[in-house]
Structure 1
Amino acid sequence: MIDLHCHSTASDGSATPREIIDLAIQEKVTAIALTDHDTIAGLQEFQDAGGNAGITVIPGIELSAREENHDEFHFVGLFIDAHSEPLQAFCHHIRTLRQERNYKILEHLPSLNCPLTLSEVEAECPGGVIGRPHIAAALIRRGYFRDSKQVFKTLLGRGCPGYIARQVPTAAECINAIHQAGGVAIWAHPFTRSNLTNRHFRTLVTTLKNLGLDGIEAYYPIHTREQTREVCKIAAEDSLLLSGGSDFHGLHFPSLKIGVAYGKLNVPDRLLPLLQERARRYS
C-alpha cells in the first residue's frame, strides 16, 4: 500500500513532515509522498526523516489551477526536485496571491459577525502558508464554530458568505512548473468537482493530456468505486498513469488516516514503478 497525497504543517496539515514518516510506518505504508500546497518548504525534513526509515520517500507538491472558462484543477507533482529554484519562485508567486485572498477574507469577516486578527490566524499556521483551514481553526478557537466541518459548510466553503476565490495559475503553468522541477504531473481527485459527468471528464482529460498531463489520481477517499473504475478506464485508453492517496491533513480531519483514509483506501504498490519511470524523463 502506498500513499501519494499528504499534507504537513508546511501548508495546512497538523503533522510535521517528520511525523508524516512515523505515521506512514505505523500504517505499514511502503511509499509516502509529501504534497503540501504551494510549498516545498517541508521536503528537506521529510526526506531526512525518511532516509533510513525503510520506506520510499517521494518529494511532491500540490498546485491549484483555474482556466478562463472557470474550470478548476488541482495537480499533484511527484518526484520533484526539492531545491528547484524555478519551482520555488513559482510557489512564492502563488503564496503572494493566497495571502491577498486571506486579507480579503479577514476584512470581510467582521460584517459576518466573526472578526479575527491576522495574528490569531498566524498562530494556527506554524508552516507559514496560511489557508482557509487556518482561518477556520482561529474561528473555532474564538468559539464562533464547533469544528472545521461547520466552518466550511456555513462560512468558508464555496458558495458560502465568507468564501472568496483566489487568483491561481493556469493548468498549463502548473504542469510546466512540475515538469521543470523534474516531477510527474497528476490531476488530483477529479471527481471532487461538483456535478462532473463522465462525458465532461473525458473532455477534460483530453485537454489536460494535450498540455502534458502524466496521470490521474484514481484512488481517493471519496471517489466511488464507479468513479475509480472510470478513471482507470480513461487513463488506460489515453496512456496516462494512475496515482492515489489519502489527502491526509492530520487533526483537521481526524477520521482520515494516512494510507487507508477512512478505512478502505488501498493504493496499489504496482503504480509506483511506472511513476518512477516517467519521472526519469524529466530529471
Structure 2
Amino acid sequence: MRIDLHAHSHVSDGTEPPAALVASAKTAGLDIVALTDHDQTAGWADAARTALELGIGLVPGMEISCKTAAGISVHLLSYLHDPTHAGLLDEIGKARDARITRARRMVELLAEDYPVDWDMVAHHSAPGATIGRPHIADALVTAGVVRTRTEAFAQVLTARSRYYVGHYAMDPVTAVKLVREAGGVPVFAHPVASARGRVVGEETFDEMIAAGLLGIEIEHRDNPEEGRQYLRELARKHDLIVTGSSDYHGAGKPNRLGENLTSKEMMERIVAAGTGTAPVGLPDLS
C-alpha cells in the first residue's frame, strides 16, 4: 500500500487546487494521501469530494508553524483533528495574520532592490490563501530575479538575508497539546532538516513527547541519513509512530508524490489515535 502523508495545495503554498492535488496523488499510484496545508483546513472539503470520486483515501491534516523560545522553527503535522476546535483555531489564526504582515514587510524590503510589488505576489496565490515566502519566491521567478523557488529561498529569501522578517508562531509544546485536545495526531515534520536552518535538541523532543507527541516524520528528503538514524532510535525508545512522505508542493518544489512512504501499520496507528475528524475513503487496512 502506497501512503504519502504530507502534501500541500494552493490553499497554502502548493501550486495545485486541493482537488487537483488528490487527482495527482491518484495518478502517482498512491492509495492514501494526506492534505496538510500550512495553518489551514480550507481545502479539506474539495479534497474529500475528489477522493471519493477517484477512489483514493484522504487523511485530512494540517502543518502548524511553531517556534521554540530559542527561535528555532518547528513544523508540526496534525492529522484527523477537529477543525472547529476553538483553541487551535485561535492560535493558527494568529499565525496566519502574522504571516500576512510579515509578507507585506518583506515585499516592501525586496521592492527597494528588485522589480516586485504586492500585486505581483498576490497574483501567485489562490483566493483565500495565506500569502507567504513561497508566493514571494514565485514573484521573484516571474520578475527574472531567480530561476526557481528553490533558488529564491537559497539566495534571496534565506533567514540570513536582509529581506527576511520573522513572524509569530506558537511554541511546539503548546501546539502538541492543542492538537491532542482537538482529537488529532501530532507528528513532528522533518525534525532534523538542518539544511533549512537550526534544528532542536533532545530537550525539545523530550518536552514534545511529554506533551503528547505521537509521531515523527523520518523518511523525508530534507532529513540527512545520520539524523534519520537518530530519529529511528528515538522512535523505538518512545514507541512513536514513524512516517515517510514527499512534502509535495506541485510545481513549486522538486518533491514528487510518493518519493517517501508511510507503512500500512503506521497508518493504522494514526487512524486509531485520531478522533477529531474521520479519514475519507480509506482502503481496508486490516
TM-score in same-fold range (> 0.5) = yes
Where do residues 170-189 of structure 1 align in structure 2 (5 Å cutoff)? 170-189=171-190
Tell me if structure 2 keeps the 8 A contact 1:8–1:17.
Answer: yes
Tell me if structure 2 keeps the 8 A contact 1:180–1:282.
Answer: no
Match of 1:99 in 2: 100
Where do residues 77-156 of structure 1 align in structure 2 (5 Å cutoff)? 77-111=78-112, 113-127=113-127, 128-156=129-157
CA shift for structure 1 position 90: 3.0
175-184 or 209-218, which deviates more: 175-184
Deviations 1:144-203 (A, max 9, x none): 222222211111012123222212111123223322332100110011135879xx7433
Supply the distance in 2 between the matched residues of 1:52 and 1:272 (Cα, whole angstroms).
Answer: 22
**Shift in CA distance, 196/140, structure 1 to aligned 2, threshold 3 Å:** closer
88-97 or 70-79, which deviates more: 88-97
CA shift for structure 1 position 51: 1.9
Tell me if structure 2 keeps the 8 A contact 1:153–1:160.
Answer: no
Q: Which amino acid aligns with 1:266?
A: L
Deviations 1:1-28 (A, max 9, x none): 2111000010000011111111111122
**Shift in CA distance, 34/121, structure 1 to aligned 2, threshold 3 Å:** same
Are 2:249 and 1:249 equivalent residues in the alignment? yes
Match of 1:220 in 2: 220
Supply the distance in 2 between the matched residues of 1:37 and 1:58 (Cα, whole angstroms).
Answer: 15
Supply the distance in 1 between the matched residues of 2:46 and 2:182 (Cα, whole angstroms).
Answer: 19
Tell me if structure 2 keeps the 8 A contact 1:6–1:33.
Answer: yes
Q: Which amino acid aligns with 1:69?
A: A
**SS across alignment from 1:217:** strand
Match of 2:283 in 1: none
Q: TM-score, normalised by structure 1?
A: 0.89
CA shift for structure 1 position 86: 4.4
Percent of residue pairs identical: 25
Tell me if structure 2 keeps the 8 A contact 1:40–1:88.
Answer: no
Supply the distance in 2 between the matched residues of 1:208 and 1:162 (Cα, whole angstroms).
Answer: 31
Where do residues 29-68 of structure 1 align in structure 2 (5 Å cutoff)? 29-68=30-69
Q: Which amino acid aligns with 2:257?
A: I
Q: Which amino acid aligns with 1:36?
A: D
- Count of aligned pairs between the two proteins: 275
Supply the distance in 1 between the matched residues of 2:34 and 2:122 (Cα, whole angstroms).
Answer: 26
Match of 1:268 in 2: 263
Tell me if structure 1 keeps the 8 A contact 2:173–2:207.
Answer: no
Q: Which amino acid aligns with 1:259?
A: G
CA shift for structure 1 position 116: 2.5
CA shift for structure 1 position 134: 0.3
- The alignment's C-alpha RMSD in Å is 2.2
Deviations 1:214-252 (A, max 9, x none): 111111123244433321221110122112210000101
**SS across alignment from 2:156:** helix
Supply the distance in 2 between the matched residues of 1:185 and 1:201 (Cα, whole angstroms).
Answer: 18
Supply the distance in 2 between the matched residues of 1:196 and 1:238 (Cα, whole angstroms).
Answer: 24
Q: Which amino acid aligns with 2:82?
A: D
Q: TM-score, normalised by structure 2?
A: 0.88
**SS across alignment from 1:21:** helix
Unaligned ranges ≥5, structure 1: none
Q: Which amino acid aligns with 1:44?
A: A
Higher relative contact order (CA 8 A, sep 6+): 2
